[in-house]
Chain A
Amino acid sequence: MWWRSASFILDKGLNDEVQDESESLRVSPSNTSMADTLQNPNPKISAYYQTRAAHHGVVTSDWLAQAQAAVGRHPDDLPPPKVEDSGKPFSVIDEFNSWRKQPDLAEAVAAIRALASVIRSSQATTMMELEIELKKASDSLKSWDTTSISLTAGCDLFMRYVTRTSALEYENFNSAKSRLIERAERFGEISYKARRIIAMLGQDFIFDGCTILVHGFSRVVLEVLKTAAQNKKLFRVFCTEGRPDRTGLRLSNEMAKLDVPVKLLIDSAVAYTMDEVDMVFVGADGVVESGGIINMMGTYQIALVAHSMNKPVYVAAESYKFARLYPLDQKDMAPALRPIDFGVPIPSKVEVETSARDYTPPQYLTLLFTDLGVLTPSVVSDELIQLYL
Chain B
Amino acid sequence: MPDVQALVNEFIIKLKKRKVEGSQATARMTAELLRSVISQQRVPYNNQAGALIDAIKAVGEQLIAANPVELAVGNIVRRVLHIIREEDLSLATAAVAGLNLSAVSDDEDDGEREDHPVLSAAAVAAAARSTLRPPSLQTLLEDMPDSAAVPQSSSSGGDSEGKSKSADKSSRSRKLKHDIIEAVNELIQDIATCHEQISEQAVEHIHQNEVILTLGRSRTVMEFLCAAKEKKRSFRVFVAEGAPRYQGHVLAKELVARGLQTTLITDSAVFAMISRVNMVIVGAHAVMANGGVIAPVGLNMVALAAQRHAVPFVVLAGTHKLCPLYPHNPEVLLNELKSPSELLDFGEFSDCMDFGSGNGSPLLHVVNPAFDYVPPKLVSLFITDTGGHNPSYMYRLIADYYSADDLVVQRRPASGN
**Can you show 22 pairs from A to B with CB atoms below 8 A apart?**
A157-B137, A157-B141, A183-B145, A186-B144, A186-B145, A204-B328, A207-B328, A322-B137, A372-B134, A373-B135, A373-B404, A374-B289, A375-B395, A376-B290, A376-B395, A377-B392, A378-B390, A378-B393, A379-B395, A386-B138, A387-B137, A387-B141
Tell me whether B346 is interfacial, beta carbon within 8 Å.
no
Tell me whether A231 is interfacial, beta carbon within 8 Å.
no
Which residue of A160, A166, A376, A382 is within 8 Å of B123 (Cβ)?
Answer: A166
Which residue of A172, A205, A372, A378 is within 8 Å of B136 (Cβ)?
Answer: A372
Taking CB atoms and an 8 Å cut-off, the chain A residues in 179-213 that contact chain B are 179, 182-183, 186, 190, 204-205, 207
Which residue of A166, A182, A387 is within 8 Å of B138 (Cβ)?
Answer: A387
- Give the docked Cα–Cα distance between A167 and B116 (Å): 11
Task: Say whether, besides A371-B135, A374-B326, A182 and B145 are in contact (CB < 8 Å).
Answer: yes
- Give the docked Cα–Cα distance between A377 and B291 (Å): 13
Is the beta-carbon distance between A190 and B328 smaller than 8 angstroms?
Answer: no
Which residue of B117, B136, B144, B146 is within 8 Å of A383 (Cβ)?
Answer: B136
B369 CB to nearest chain A CB (Å): 20
Is the beta-carbon distance between A376 and B141 smaller than 8 angstroms?
Answer: no
B residues contacting A by CB (< 8 A) are 115, 117, 119, 123, 134-138, 140-141, 143-146, 289-291, 326, 328-330, 390, 392-393, 395-396, 404
- Give the docked Cα–Cα distance between A387 and B135 (Å): 12
7 A-B pairs with the lowest CB-CB distances in the bound complex, closest first = A378-B392, A387-B137, A161-B141, A372-B135, A383-B137, A376-B392, A386-B138
Is the beta-carbon distance between B140 and A190 smaller than 8 angstroms?
Answer: yes
- Give the docked Cα–Cα distance between A367 and B289 (Å): 11
Query: Which residues of chain A are near B396, meaning CB under 8 Å?
Result: 382
B126 nearest in chain A by CB position: A166
B402 CB to nearest chain A CB (Å): 12
Query: Which residues of chain B are near A384, meaning CB under 8 Å?
Result: 137
Which residue of B119, B138, B146, B329 is within 8 Å of A204 (Cβ)?
Answer: B329
Query: Which residues of chain B are near A375, meaning CB under 8 Å?
Result: 395
B86 CB to nearest chain A CB (Å): 19
Tell me whether A164 is interfacial, beta carbon within 8 Å.
yes
* Sample of 12 further A-B pairs with CB below 8 A, known A376-B290, A377-B392, A378-B390: A167-B117, A179-B145, A186-B144, A319-B140, A372-B134, A374-B326, A378-B393, A379-B392, A379-B395, A382-B396, A386-B137, A387-B137
Which residue of A166, A171, A367, A383 is within 8 Å of B290 (Cβ)?
Answer: A367
Interface size on A, residues (CB 8 A): 34
- Give the docked Cα–Cα distance between A205 and B396 (Å): 21
Tell me whether A165 is interfacial, beta carbon within 8 Å.
yes
Is the beta-carbon distance between B137 and A205 smaller than 8 angstroms?
Answer: no
Q: How many contacts A-B (CB < 8 Å)? A: 67
Of A164, A205, A372, chain B has the most CB atoms within 10 Å of the CB of A372
A342 CB to nearest chain B CB (Å): 41
B170 CB to nearest chain A CB (Å): 33
Query: Which residues of chain B are near A157, meaning CB under 8 Å?
Result: 137, 141
Is the beta-carbon distance between B328 and A205 smaller than 8 angstroms?
Answer: yes
- Give the docked Cα–Cα distance between A224 and B197 (Å): 43
Query: Which residues of chain A are near B115, meaning CB under 8 Å?
Result: 171-172
B411 CB to nearest chain A CB (Å): 21
Query: Which residues of chain B are near A319, meaning CB under 8 Å?
Result: 137, 140
B144 nearest in chain A by CB position: A186
Query: Which residues of chain B are near A383, meaning CB under 8 Å?
Result: 136-138
- Give the docked Cα–Cα distance between A377 and B119 (Å): 37
- Give the docked Cα–Cα distance between A386 and B143 (Å): 16
A190 nearest in chain B by CB position: B140
B398 nearest in chain A by CB position: A373
Query: Which residues of chain A are near B144, meaning CB under 8 Å?
Result: 186
- Give the docked Cα–Cα distance between A377 and B330 (Å): 24
B135 nearest in chain A by CB position: A372
B395 nearest in chain A by CB position: A379
- Give the docked Cα–Cα distance between A312 and B392 (Å): 16
B48 CB to nearest chain A CB (Å): 29
Query: Which residues of chain A are near B123, meaning CB under 8 Å?
Result: 166
Query: Which residues of chain A are near B392, meaning CB under 8 Å?
Result: 376-379
- Give the docked Cα–Cα distance between A166 and B134 (Å): 21
Query: Which residues of chain B are near A161, meaning CB under 8 Å?
Result: 140-141
Is the beta-carbon distance between B134 and A373 smaller than 8 angstroms?
Answer: yes
Of B136, B289, B290, B396, chain A has the most CB atoms within 10 Å of the CB of B136
Which residue of A166, A205, A378 is within 8 Å of B143 (Cβ)?
Answer: A166
Of A160, A165, A204, A384, chain B has the most CB atoms within 10 Å of the CB of A165
- Give the docked Cα–Cα distance between A167 and B143 (Å): 8
Taking CB atoms and an 8 Å cut-off, the chain A residues in 292-322 that contact chain B are 319, 322
- Give the docked Cα–Cα distance between A171 and B115 (Å): 8
- Give the docked Cα–Cα distance between A109 and B360 (Å): 64
B97 CB to nearest chain A CB (Å): 15
B289 CB to nearest chain A CB (Å): 8
Is the beta-carbon distance between B141 and A164 smaller than 8 angstroms?
Answer: yes
Query: Which residues of chain A are near B138, meaning CB under 8 Å?
Result: 383, 386-387
Query: Which residues of chain A are near B330, meaning CB under 8 Å?
Result: 207
Q: Mark A149-185, 1 if CB is under 8 A from B, else 0.
A: 0000000010011001111000110000001001100
Query: Which residues of chain A are near B329, meaning CB under 8 Å?
Result: 204
B267 CB to nearest chain A CB (Å): 24
Query: Which residues of chain B are near A207, meaning CB under 8 Å?
Result: 328, 330
Is the beta-carbon distance between A376 and B119 smaller than 8 angstroms?
Answer: no
Query: Which residues of chain B are near A376, meaning CB under 8 Å?
Result: 290-291, 392, 395
Q: Mark A255-271, 1 if CB is under 8 A from B, else 0.
A: 00000000000000000
Is the beta-carbon distance between B119 and A166 smaller than 8 angstroms?
Answer: yes
B399 nearest in chain A by CB position: A373
B119 CB to nearest chain A CB (Å): 7
Query: Which residues of chain B are near A373, meaning CB under 8 Å?
Result: 134-135, 404
